[in-house]
Amino acid sequence: MWTVCLCIAALVALSFVHWIHRWSNPRCNGNLPPGSMGLPLLGESLEFFASNSSSDIPPFVKERMKRYGPVFRTSLVGRPVIVSTNSDLNYYIFQQEGRLFQSWYPDTFTEIFGKQNVGSLHGFIYKYLKGMVLNLFGPESLRKMLTEVEQAANKSLDMWSRQETVELKDASAAMIFDLTAKKLISHDPEKSSENLRENFVAFIKGLISFPLNIPGTAYHKCLQGRKKAMTMLENMLEERRRRPNKVQRDFYDYVLEELQRKDTVLTEAVALDLMFVLLFASFETTSLAITFAIKMLAENPHVLKELTEEHDAILRKREDSELGLTWKEYKSMKFTFQVINETARLGNIVPGIFRKALKDIKYKEHTIPAGWAVMVCPPAVHLNPSTYKDPLQFNPWRWEESELKGASKNFMAFGGGMRFCVGTDFTKVQMAVFLHCLVTKYRWVLMKGGDIVRTPGLQFPNGLHIQISEKHKIRARGGRNHPSRQDDEEADHVYC
């Protein structure tokens, strides 16, 4: 009896040791990149998600680059992952989309964004959806949207300037969300009894957090937020089905029309997941970029000066000062686009872009095994001192001679290749128009917050609180815009 028990115990122990050995030394038909798979099951997830307040390459990546070189292996949320900080390999990965690599995100992401979200779809349905999105946010639509974007920026800035202070991250998110929700689903927060944005806020809090789905965790709150937001979107679509518009006015009308066609590849689930992703992507990313840009402008007054000059010149050249921005004026904002690019480079809003290797891939002396995840790391490319001199400095002039349009080997803030961000131009319009309205009419003072935390996604844990004043009122009142502001005298010389 004892002998049998001992044999079983020995077998279990042996299997365990074998499993640990296999975990640390995964099979590969070639030479795996160096690295550590961390603890069994947990891998190196805790280190990856540990928060840091640096604007430099994430410590998790930087330490491993030093130890193992530019391409290394690890394990994150239960998956073996190859991390690439090498701009050539990153570029190659983007170019090989659908052939050697395929868009892939951890299961936790798919849970959050929906199993049928555009990032997880491939082939024909993906191309179809991309066409739909480009139709909504492509240059032709943006040109028509310009006035609306300007009106939304002016309205928000006017409202903020009447408040004691404004928390820019949330306030700009609200501004963009309301505009996008109006365009996509005709959602008017002032008329609706339901607060759609509130559910997205709960959702975002846990987005790039450790995926532990138990009550109280950020991840759990995130899933709850998604559930509520999806229910609202479903109800709104249902309502539209019952009461359709006579002419096609928004994205819901388009979806309902499409769903009635016999040969359509669109399903209601795909349309709703797309709606969710677009609403999320449009306001969360751009509001982070706007907040980061304002922080950088406040810390770099010489940049703000040149930016203001560019926009004042646009107003001076305008024949009728009552008219709003034109597309031609928008296109002429050269320095503004340099500021936006520099914000995207240094802000590194997207810390990692994921793919899956479809077959064994040999790259130089290493092999990326089929089925493994690959994480392209844009911050490592954007903060490489051999490409960008003084990479931690906010220096929009570094883009003076560059082509600012798309992705390149050394700039991948919006991804690259076939999956290049479809919202890039929309973000640029939002940011440029907002900056135009801000610097031509207003000045602002940083009141509190502005600290950065990366988990590894960019966050402003205390927000960025600013006080905004109209320029002409500051001049007219010798620095007093807001009657209740006691500290104006003192604040005058710190206005940005």
Nearer to ligand HEM, 44 or 273 (CB): 273
Among 7, 15, 408, 426, CA closest to 183: 426
Distances (CA, A) of 359 to 96, 98, 371: 12, 11, 7
What is the helix, strand, coil percentage profile of the chain, to 5? Answer: 55, 10, 35
Q: Which residue is nearest to ligand HEM (CB)?
A: 423
CA dihedral 223, 228, 234, 235 (to 10 degrees): 170
Binding site for ligand HEM (CB under 6 A): 103, 118-119, 130, 133, 137, 277-278, 281-282, 285-286, 289, 344, 349-350, 353, 413-415, 419, 421-423, 426-427
CB 449 within 8 A of CB 167: yes
Is 437 assigned to a binding site?
A: no
Residues 6+ apart with CB under 8 A from 9: none
Nearer to ligand HEM, 196 or 344 (CB): 344
Take residue 369 and report the two structure tokens written for it.
């095994």
Secondary structure letter of residue 482 according to DSSP: S
Nearer to ligand HEM, 156 or 481 (CB): 156
Minimum CB distance to ligand HEM, residue 137 (Å) = 5
Minimum CB distance to ligand HEM, residue 414 (Å) = 5
- Beta strand 373-376 pairing with 353-357: antiparallel
Asked if residue 456 has a cis previous peptide bond (ω within 30° of 0), the answer is yes
Helix axes 123-137, 139-161, angle to 10 degrees: 60
Among 379, 342, 381, CA closest to 458: 379
Secondary structure letter of residue 138 according to DSSP: S
CB atoms within 10 A of CB 41: 10
Nearer to ligand HEM, 56 or 425 (CB): 425
CB atoms within 10 A of CB 177: 23
CB 423 within 8 A of CB 431: no
Among 32, 207, 203, CA closest to 106: 207
CB atoms within 10 A of CB 480: 14
CB atoms within 10 A of CB 359: 11
Beta bridge partners of residue 205, listed in sequence order: none
Instruction: Let me know the angle formed at the C-alpha of 112 by 110 and 116, rounded to the nearest 5 degrees.
Output: 45
Minimum CB distance to ligand HEM, residue 471 (Å) = 27
What is the distance, to the nearest Å, from the Cα of residue 307 to the centroid of all Cα atoms in its chain?
24
Nearer to ligand HEM, 104 or 495 (CB): 104
Nearer to ligand HEM, 119 or 206 (CB): 119
Long-range contacts of 479-482 (CB under 8 A, 24+ apart): 481/161, 482/161, 482/162, 482/164
Minimum CB distance to ligand HEM, residue 159 (Å) = 22
Beta bridge partners of residue 448, listed in sequence order: 465
Take residue 193 and report the two structure tokens written for it.
């009894």
Minimum CB distance to ligand HEM, residue 349 (Å) = 4
Nearer to ligand HEM, 278 or 377 (CB): 278
Nearer to ligand HEM, 298 or 413 (CB): 413
Minimum CB distance to ligand HEM, residue 282 (Å) = 4
Nearer to ligand HEM, 161 or 291 (CB): 291
Minimum CB distance to ligand HEM, residue 428 (Å) = 9
- Beta strand 353-357 pairing with 166-167: unpaired
Nearer to ligand HEM, 43 or 417 (CB): 417
Binding site for heme, residues? 421
Binding site, residues? 421
